[in-house]
Amino acid sequence: MHQPLMSSRRILTAGSLLWTGSATAAGDAAPINVVAIGMFLLFALVTLGITWWAARRTRSAHDFYAAGGGITGFQNGLAIAGDYMSAASFLGIAGLVYTSGFDGLIYSIGFLVGWPLIMFLLAERLRNLGRYTFADAVSFRLQAGPVRSLSACGTLVVVVFYLIAQMVGAGKLIEVLFGLDYSIAVVVVGVLMIIYVSFGGMLATTWVQLIKAVLLLTGASVMAIAVLALVGFSFEALIARAVERHPLGARILAPGPLVADPVSAVSLGLALMFGTAGLPHILMRFFTVPDAREARRSVFYATSFVAYFYLLIFIIGLGAVIVLTGETRYTDAATGLLRGGTNMAAIHLAQAVGGDIFLGFISAVAFATILAVVSGLTLSGASALSHDLYASVLRRGDANPQEELRVSRMATIVLGALAIVLGIQFEAQNVAYMVGLAFAIAASVNFPILFLSMYWRGLTTRGAALGGFMGLVTAVTLMVLGPTVWVDVLKHAAPVFPYKHPALFSISVAFVSIWLFSITDRGPRAQAERAAFRDQYIRAQTGLGAAGASRH
Amino acid sequence: MQHLYERIDRDPRFHALARRRSLLGWGLSAAVLVAYYAFILAIAFAPGLLAMPLGPDTVLTVGIIAGLAVIVMSVALTGVYVWRANRTFDGLNAAIVGDATRDA
């Protein structure tokens, strides 16, 4: 059924070859996938309808940033899980399990263990102290100017790197899955995201995330069940068959080449764990629920969904090993590598177990996933610009809410346009390091200042601002000088800094400098900030005085 | 608000609650951190241990089971925290805040 379309796609590719010099070889070009595009259009239609509905309910800054505080713990938990279950983790980790088995499990666990810590140490206090962004909580007793500027920088840097990685991934994926041109794909994602966020704010973003999370969990569950059905619903048989089929044999059940040395292992572990606890678009979600109790419930639901999701991915990855290995329809006969790259493991498996219709469904879900994640990121970046930088720093808290709302919509459009431009610019670049960099920065800037502001009386503005800045500079510098950028991107022969993951060093630098610059800070301002810790502590613990939900 | 915080600060029940909550929070955090870093350090220093099969007639390795155990434990402990907080902390907190605000 794809035959006639395939030839038109060939012509399209040839056209774009002349036009943009795109390097896509004709053999790699995907046929236009009618089922996938149809399902995606349905998703776009439904979510645009929701945006129209949400837009009529988004009247104040509180609605825009926090959906009026009226999201339930269950909904928010599912949305948080949705923010976290990106296409990168769905396709990337399934691919990692397919190629090296156990290494995929290491990543899954790292991504998961940040959640219990968010629950035990951050969620309730954050909800009780903040209103729209995590910088609200940090600037509770510290000077808004420096602390918010730094938090906003931390947020924007994380958001931009994460966005570029998602946009480039989106363009490539959609090119392969849908047979759409890369630039068209990036523009479609960017425009839809701008519409969702600027019109529907947090309410629309949350519902887009909810729908996508349900679709993704359903699709992944069906795939995992199909895989388990092949092995008589026995996990042990699944592993045994995978070992039998995989060229590496039993070595897929042990740590592989991914984590080369002890320093890298610990550093990666720290980045994944504390990076999760410092991701601005996740932290922002805690303000969409009415109180600390619902914030707590959302973390529990989020942790459960994310854990379930990673178990499914592990099964799907092993299933891909069993079903796809050696099948020339999905792998190259000469090299044995997956057609379209390792990220295609889950996609090929969908076709193998469910045919073209299921392939279309999973492709549409992957597209929806990217869209939902970039929307959450953009909203969080826009909030940093409008709430932290514009309203709190530039206007010193004087901006009226309508004006702030207008600025946040403009910020959304600017960030969306930037994401489209950068997404197209970075097409041919290796952007795999960008997610790692985003996590390292979140772990070395946002997490230390947020954590210490809540737990350490001695923290002062000077300590937070200078120490957080040191963390930011260290993380970026070491990443640039390390193997992923210095060698893989800049093509130098050897890295200046030997480790792939800088988090161990940059987190330590951040904590030590925050401590040092705080204890040496003896001004009257610093004394007042330490004295204000008591009130902050009591509000964080009891929720007395916390921003509540607004009802319409 | 200031005088309410003052009042709560003088309430011994508040400090008892804060202590219990932080004991639970830090205790559970320590459990997760120990389990996770034991796993990471095993990857770094003793990958052979993780590659060991569980028994003579199974392909399951120590590493697979340990990894799955860390996942299950993360969910279970967040559940424990929510359960404890819902059952005891919320009630105590409501009583403390209620007393502080009633005759304010």
Rounded CA-CA distance A362/A434 in Å is 25
Quote the pLDDT of residue A431.
75
- Give the single-character DSSP code of A131: S
**How many of the other CB atoms lie within 10 Å of CB of A47?**
26
**How many of the other CB atoms lie within 10 Å of CB of B92?**
15
- Give the count of Cβ contacts less than 8 A between chain A and B: 154
Residue A252: CA count within 13 A, CB half-sphere:
26
CA distances from A327 to A257, A335, A355, A545 (A): 25, 12, 15, 62
On whether the CB atoms of residues A347 and A150 are closer than 8 A, the answer is no
Whether the per-residue pLDDT at A27 is higher than 50: the answer is no
Indicate yes or no: CB of A105 within 8 angstroms of CB of B67.
yes
- Give the single-character DSSP code of A388: I
**Which residues does residue A63 pair with via DSSP β-bridges, in sequence order?**
none
Whether the per-residue pLDDT at A123 is higher than 70: the answer is yes
Confidence tier at A549 by pLDDT (50, 70, 90): low
Residues 6+ apart with CB under 8 A from B46: none
Rounded CA-CA distance A125/A118 in Å is 10
Q: Helix (H) and strand (E) counts for chain A?
A: 23, 0
- DSSP of A190-209, one letter per residue? HHHHHHHHHHHHHHHHHHHH
Residue B45, token pair as written in the block = 């220093």
Pick from A6-15, A201-210, A378-387: least confident: A6-15
Q: Is A119 on the interface with B (CB under 8 A)?
A: yes
Rounded CA-CA distance B47/A403 in Å is 57
Indicate yes or no: CB of B78 within 8 angstroms of CB of A538.
no
- Angle, helix B12-45 to helix A533-542, in steps of 10 degrees: 80
Rounded CA-CA distance A56/A404 in Å is 18
**How many of the other CB atoms lie within 10 Å of CB of A264?**
19
Confidence tier at A121 by pLDDT (50, 70, 90): very high
Of all residues in chain B, the one with the smallest CA distance to A110 is: B36
Q: Is A121 on the interface with B (CB under 8 A)?
A: yes
Quote the pLDDT of residue A335.
84
On whether the CB atoms of residues A374 and A162 are closer than 8 A, the answer is no
Alpha helix (H) residue ranges in A101-181? 102-117, 123-129, 134-138, 144-178
Quote the pLDDT of residue A66.
94
- Angle, helix A432-441 to helix A503-519, in steps of 10 degrees: 20
Rounded CA-CA distance B22/B17 in Å is 8
Indicate yes or no: CB of B44 within 8 angstroms of CB of A117.
no
Quote the pLDDT of residue A358.
93
Rounded to an integer, the average pLDDT of A357-378 is: 92
Pick from A254-263, B31-40, B63-72: least confident: A254-263
Specify the 3-state DSSP secondary structure of B61.
strand
Rounded CA-CA distance B92/A243 in Å is 54
On whether the CB atoms of residues A154 and A284 are closer than 8 A, the answer is no
Rounded CA-CA distance A387/B102 in Å is 35
Rounded to an integer, the average pLDDT of A212-220 is: 96
- DSSP of A86-117, one letter per residue? -HIIIIIHHHHHHHHTHHHHHHHHHHHHHHHH
Percent of chain A with pLDDT over 90: 66
Cα three-residue angle A121-A393-A452, rounded to 5 degrees: 20
Chain B: closest CA distance from residue A365 (Å): 25
Quote the pLDDT of residue A550.
54
Alpha helix (H) residue ranges in B1-104? 2-10, 12-45, 47-51, 62-84, 90-102
Q: Which of A304, A550, A325, A280 is nearest to A441 (CA)?
A: A280
Indicate yes or no: CB of B63 within 8 angstroms of CB of A112.
no
Residue B88, token pair as written in the block = 């005891």
Rounded to an integer, the average pLDDT of A499-520 is: 95
Tell me the domain boundaries of chain A: 29-428
Cβ-based contacts of B96 with chain A (< 8 Å):
542
Residue A36, token pair as written in the block = 């996938």
Rounded CA-CA distance A193/B67 in Å is 36
Residue A413, token pair as written in the block = 């459009």
Chain B: closest CA distance from residue A372 (Å): 25
- pLDDT digits 0-9 by tens, A50-86: 999 999 999 888 999 999 898 999 999 999 999 989 8
- pLDDT digits 0-9 by tens, A372-392: 999 999 999 999 999 999 999
Rounded to an integer, the average pLDDT of A334-359 is: 89
Rounded CA-CA distance A91/A178 in Å is 16
Of all residues in chain A, the one with the smallest CA distance to B11 is: A538
- Angle, helix A102-117 to helix B62-84, in steps of 10 degrees: 20
Quote the pLDDT of residue A453.
96
Specify the 3-state DSSP secondary structure of A488.
coil
Rounded CA-CA distance B104/A215 in Å is 50
Residue A66, token pair as written in the block = 């926090």
Chain mean pLDDT for chain A = 88
Of all residues in chain A, the one with the smallest CA distance to B86 is: A293
Tell me the domain boundaries of chain B: 13-98
Pick from A306-320, A474-488, A537-551, B32-46: least confident: A537-551
Whether the per-residue pLDDT at A361 is higher than 80: the answer is yes
Whether the per-residue pLDDT at A237 is higher than 50: the answer is yes
Indicate yes or no: CB of A307 within 8 angstroms of CB of B68.
no
Whether the per-residue pLDDT at A18 is higher than 50: the answer is no
Chain B: closest CA distance from residue A189 (Å): 33
Q: Which of A536, A159, A165, A188 is nearest to A383 (CA)?
A: A159
Whether the per-residue pLDDT at A22 is higher than 70: the answer is no
Cβ-based contacts of A239 with chain B (< 8 Å):
59-60, 64
The whole model's pTM is what? Answer: 0.90
Quote the pLDDT of residue B66.
94
Whether the per-residue pLDDT at A337 is higher than 90: the answer is no
Chain A: closest CA distance from residue B103 (Å): 15
Of all residues in chain A, the one with the smallest CA distance to B45 is: A262
CATH homologous superfamily, domain A29-428: Sodium/glucose cotransporter (1.20.1730.10)
- pLDDT digits 0-9 by tens, A428-457: 877 777 888 899 999 999 999 999 999 999
Rounded CA-CA distance B2/A531 in Å is 13
Rounded CA-CA distance A116/A110 in Å is 12
Whether the per-residue pLDDT at A5 is higher than 70: the answer is no
Indicate yes or no: CB of A113 within 8 angstroms of CB of B36.
yes
Specify the 3-state DSSP secondary structure of A397.
coil
- pLDDT digits 0-9 by tens, A30-57: 677 788 888 889 999 999 999 999 999 9
On whether the CB atoms of residues A385 and A411 are closer than 8 A, the answer is yes
Which residue is associated with the tokens 């399209």?
A12
Cα three-residue angle A263-B52-A346, rounded to 5 degrees: 75
**Which residues does residue A331 pair with via DSSP β-bridges, in sequence order?**
A338
